[in-house]
Amino acid sequence: MNNNPDSVILREDTKVVVSGRDSKSFGGMVNPPVYHGSTVLAESVAEYNTRHDSRLNDEQVMVYGTMGNPTGWALENAIAELEGGYNCATYSSGLAAIAVALMAFLKSGDHLLMTDSTYAPTRRFCDSVLKRFGVETTYYDPLIGAEIKSLLRPNTAVVFTESPGSHTFEVQDIPSIAEVAHQHGAIVQMDNTWASPLYFKPFEHGVDISIQAVTKYIVGHSDVLLGSVTTTKEHWKTLRDCTWHFGQCVAPDDLYLAQRGLRTMAVRLRQHHKSSLKIAEWLSNRAEVRQVLYPALPGAPGHEIWKRDFLGASGLFGVELKPFSQKAVEKMIDEMRLFGIGSSWGGYESLMLPSNVRDIRTASPWRFEGPLLRLHIGLEDVDDLKDDLKDGLERIRNFGG
Ligand SMILES: *Cc1c(COP(=O)(O)O)cnc(C)c1O
């Protein structure tokens, strides 16, 4: 729970260090112990019952393994505070967090508005599970803004946003979407993974439910899968109860590693931002590149809204190349020295993938002519990354046929 709503105003870097910490309870230990356990023993039946009642009232007392322990609360309290929400629940992956957030607020007969730029597995969840349970999904152009009014129906319960999209990097006008959604009685959910809890404050922009793939920047080391959902006070019980109904809980070692990663997130993100901006600027001047899709780059798509709403930028962005063949692009990627080929991002290492999402989009115009690359800029030396990219772009240019 966010125990520091407005008592002391701390600056962001300090909050990353102190939020969720409770060393008094652990004999002075800086970090929380890792609580392994299912059963929690009570002194008496009366105490057993009291504990259950307290837990239902959101007191952070141990009742049973699935209902939380201090290792998890250290992380959840910190995320809730950093995102500026009321309380936070954690899940076994980012995708599990999204699935529970949607299931908690939708029922048979409801209508869901989902951004066309959403993370592909989110889309598959809507098209399979939600469809089977009688929830209709309409995909919308991520750049729709207040025009989303025309798509809202009396039974629209949730408007789901993700900004920027993690392949095409459209920056959504979240405040406009939220205003219209609320006028129509719908709630706004957001996949806020790209910005992390530090660089976009969802609840200041009208979001009701904010989701993190904690796997990415909070964990920061590519060694844990974890998700979180943070809500306003109004929506907390609905989310919490659904989480418990699904038996969603996270292994304590993973919770520990995530809160450990969190403590260095501010400095890591600053470096991701700085290095990414340098590389984005450099790429935008290369002859092989049509445009760079990094919202923090002046002149890039979405830059104006990014500047208005975001406090920084992370290390993931897109590059639209001139119309080279897919084979030439593969030649570039296959022989990179420092950029690994793999899913996910947010770790300390650089990654590169071709972005092939055109065929799954159904609601928005395809805004690109050339092939798209997706880069994650890690914490390596920027000049080494540039050397690697320079050689890669030359491989594309020199690729025969
Ligand atoms: C990776 C990712 C997820 C899912 O996180 P997992 O922990 O891998 O399940 C959700 N949303 C976005 C934008 C992501 O990049």
Average pLDDT, the chain: 96
Q: Please say whether the structural domain 266-398 has been given the CATH code 2.40.160.20.
A: no
* Residue 279: other Cβ atoms inside 10 A: 23
List phi, psi (to 5°) of 87: -155, 165
- The pLDDT of residue 400: 73
Lowest-confidence range among 153-162, 266-275, 391-400?
Answer: 391-400
H/E run at residue 112: strand 111-115
Ligand 1 pocket test, pick from 193, 214, 374 with the greatest ligand atom count within 8 Å of Cβ, gives: 193
Ligand 1 pocket test, pick from 98, 114, 119, 214 with the greatest ligand atom count within 8 Å of Cβ, gives: 119
CB–CB of 135/106 below 8 Å? yes
Q: Is the pLDDT of residue 5 over 80?
A: no
| Residue showing tokens 């919308």 | 140
Angle between helices 94-105 and 233-245 (to 10 degrees): 110
Q: Is the pLDDT of residue 401 over 60?
A: no
Q: Could you tell me the distance, in angstroms and rounded to a whole number, from the CA of residue 166 to the centre of ligand 1?
A: 9
Q: Could you tell me the distance, in angstroms and rounded to a whole number, from the CA of residue 94 to the centre of ligand 1?
A: 5
Nearest-atom index, ligand 1, CA of 225: 7
Q: Which residues line ligand 1 (CB under 6 A)?
A: 93-95, 119, 162, 166, 191, 193, 213, 215, 225, 227, 344
Residue 188 β-bridge partners = 159
Which of 173, 175, 177, 210 is closest to 194 using CA atoms? 210
Q: Is the pLDDT of residue 348 over 60?
A: yes
CATH number corresponding to 12-262: 3.40.640.10
Q: Could you tell me the distance, in angstroms and rounded to a whole number, from the CA of residue 287 to the centre of ligand 1?
A: 32
Structure tokens at 220: 């920061």
Q: Could you tell me the distance, in angstroms and rounded to a whole number, from the CA of residue 215 to the centre of ligand 1?
A: 7
* Average pLDDT score over residue span 333-352: 97
| Residue showing tokens 């909050």 | 15
Angle at 248 between CA 247 and CA 250, to 5 degrees: 130
Q: Could you tell me the distance, in angstroms and rounded to a whole number, from the CA of residue 162 to the centre of ligand 1?
A: 11
Q: Could you tell me the distance, in angstroms and rounded to a whole number, from the CA of residue 384 to the centre of ligand 1?
A: 28
* Average pLDDT score over residue span 238-261: 98
Nearest-atom index, ligand 1, CA of 316: 15
CB–CB of 313/349 below 8 Å? no
* Average pLDDT score over residue span 240-248: 97
Q: Could you tell me the distance, in angstroms and rounded to a whole number, from the CA of residue 76 to the centre of ligand 1?
A: 18
Sequence spans of domains, the chain = 12-262, 266-398
CB–CB of 160/118 below 8 Å? yes
Structure tokens at 38: 């299912």
Percent of the residues in the chain that have a pLDDT greater than 70, as a whole number: 99
CA distance 266 to 13: 6
